[in-house]
Structure 1
Amino acid sequence: MKFAVIGGTGLIGSKVVKKLNAAGHEAVPHAQSTGADVISGQGLDEAVAGADVVVNLTNSPTFDEASPAFFRASMDNLLAAAGKGGVGHFVILSIVGTDRVPELDYYRAKALQEEILAAGPIPYSIVRATQFMEFIDAVLSWTTDGDTVRLPATPIQPIAAADVADAVAEVAAGAPLNGIRNIGGPEVFGLDELGRITLSHKGDGRTVVTDPTAGMFAAVKGDVLTDKDARLAPTHYADWLS
């Protein structure tokens, strides 16, 4: 099968391309750097030409109120190109709980992306993942003040990017779900606890203070970013840290 992986040079996309090609498929990475611009639409017809499956792993450059416009424009342009190219399966990567945190601009934007795909004419699959282990350092940096990191106790179910890529590649190579598959890491931590584990492992002298008002995840109520019924990935956080 031939796959056009849009956003195929990024953290997840590059791994998906490698996984699909190793399985004997033809997966071609496309990105703005290769001439495929999801906002202007330039180069998209060429990128998806001859592809059986489009995997869209592009992401908004910001998490703020500008993110819905990014996903609307990119999805409209990609679906139009895929329709013209006769693509039979369109796959996106989304977030567990994205439809349950309307307080966050970015989560509303990802929910919009899902809605646009589901309403379109192309058979589709949505893979929803929990929070990436690779993003924990960035989360810590958002609320660091000197030697103090303030984090809420929001339940998080971290998953390794390599496991996300495996799941996306598996779904992309299969029949369209015309629905959602949830994937998550094998363990649930409070975000504050996860911060302490991370800093301790790295020998980082910062102190984590539990603060229910701190950072983006303060808007998350309950355990909506976890899913006990998700397909569980194999990589544990301690093993990933090591």
Structure 2
Amino acid sequence: MDNAIDHAPLHHDGDDGIGVVVCHGFTGSPHSMRPWARHLAAQGWSVRLPLLPGHGTTWRDANRTTWQDWYGEVERALTDLRQHCSSVYAVGLSMGGTLALRLAQQHPDLAGIVLVNPAVTMLRWDAKLLPVLGLVVPSVPAIGNDIAKPGVDEGAYPRTPVRAAAQLRRFQAVVRADLPKVAQPVLLYHSADDHVVEPVNSEIVLKGISSADVREVVLHDSYHVATLDHDAPQIFDGSVAFIQRLSS
């Protein structure tokens, strides 16, 4: 298995009219989503896995971006896929799940979404202090590589950019407020043991959305970055079955 970190975006054109936008998480990169994106592409589907602005370089670059920059990048991927796909889906990990939810809120014709440990709130006591903290402290220690599987590196930043984290918190508030706008089919995976995103995040999503077609799957053998963990095959195969069912 090749463990080299690859931050590059992935662009694949399929031939059967299905497209998938794949969204990576905060301070991460396409590396954490590449195996999933490749699995989707192997079905003959068109796949876009963009590199979000301020990611895949240094944490200092993230502090110069806004949540609108991140969302704009995945929305451009959606627009691109719409040009030659009859149905488009979105999948995402952590903040990537938040981005997928926003796509569903802003684009009712999105066919469905798959979420893995979506992040729509921060319960840490100091989360409310992020805007002020960002004025004096550019970064804080990061919680990276929350993966149960030994020897796996997600390639995330070694520091958490504080101003970018404040942007994430603002973005989460926007997405939480608009959760009732999500009416598409939803497949939600969340890890029973997640040291980054609190379990209440998935509960908030499930209670807030308006979707009638909803399935929740608890992952018992993975931590936060489940797309690179023991349960990754379950996520990959489950998302394929989900998209095939909705596209048949």
Q: Which bracket does the TM-score occupy, shorter chain normalised? A: 0.3 to 0.5
Scaled by the length of structure 1, what TM-score is found? 0.39
| Greater gyration radius | 1
